[in-house]
Amino acid sequence: MTASNKDDESDRGSETVIKTLEEVAPAPINVANLQSTASSFTLSWSTPLPSNINGNIQKYIIRYKPADPTGDGDYKMEEVPTGEFEVEHTVMDLPSAINYTVQVRTVNGAGSSNWSEPVYAKTTLSGTRIPVGAVIGGVIVPLVIIVILIFTVVMLRRIKQRRLKDEPAASLPNAERETSPKYENPVFDDSQQDPNIYEDPNADDHTYQDLNTDTPNYQNRIDPNTYQDLKKPTSNITYRDVTEI
């Protein structure tokens, strides 16, 4: 500090340091339950900007109790010794399937802030984490599979209907049909015969072979009702007189 008048200015005085007093910090904001298990829940919260703190954060205090009014009505406290402005903390050793109401407050050199707005955190039955992404994925994936199956069935039906419509146009005319696959012989294929030609069903067009000759492919044109005299075969057999013995 210096003093001055119309004639001159005095020398500077000794330096003095002055510090403002700390004020109570504001209550934490953005308190949320990140995840839960059968025996724990994890909280996250933040503190307003440092310019509004008016002091250094020493710690945070969490209080929680069952939300059911018939349960234990006393709060349980848990300290979080950190001066960070963005905090996550897990409360452990809890019974399963209990819904808790939870609040957080900040502690600095001037004292403790007000409690934050209450949030709810419920422990699970299975003991596994229940992240939000897993819940969303469990709903979306089955829906996508169902949509794909429906689309596939619709496309297969359309392809089948198109094939049925195209089959009559692609079939060959009667004059160009192939040999009957039943016999695989054009002689017996009805498609190669003229329907205007009369065929006598009593006509015998078969070929016979005479078994008494050695000539093959002999055609016997004799009436089968005519008697045929078969010659007795000639044989020379010598008989022995048994009376001479």
In the chain, the percentage of residues whose pLDDT exceeds 70 is: 58
d(C-alpha 120, C-alpha 43), whole Å: 10
pLDDT at residue 30, rounded to an integer: 94
d(C-alpha 52, C-alpha 170), whole Å: 85
d(C-alpha 171, C-alpha 122), whole Å: 71
DSSP code of 9? B
The residue behind tokens 């504001």 is 26
Would you say 95 and 123 are in contact if contact means Cβ atoms under 8 Å apart?
yes
pLDDT at residue 125, rounded to an integer: 86
Q: Which residues of the chain have pLDDT under 70?
A: 1-2, 7, 10, 13, 50-54, 71-72, 126-135, 168-245
Please give the class, per CATH, of domain 29-129. mainly beta
pLDDT at residue 93, rounded to an integer: 93
Does pTM surpass 0.85? no
pLDDT at residue 182, rounded to an integer: 47
Which candidate, 98, 40, 102, places its Cα nearest to that of 75? 102
Structural domain boundaries of the chain? 29-129, 131-170
pLDDT at residue 92, rounded to an integer: 94
| Strand 29-36 with 41-46, pairing | antiparallel
Burial of 11 (0-12, 13-18, 19+ CB in 10 A): exposed
Q: Which residues contact 77 (CB under 8 A, 6 or more apart)?
A: 61, 62, 63
pLDDT tens string 183-234? 455 555 555 555 565 555 565 555 555 555 554 444 445 555 555 555 555 5
At 195, list the tokens: 């329907």
pLDDT at residue 74, rounded to an integer: 87
Q: Convert 149-171 into a string of H (helix), E (strand) and C (coil).
A: HHHHHHHHHHHHHHHHHHHHHHC
Q: Is 52 helix (H, G, I), strand (E, B) or coil?
A: helix
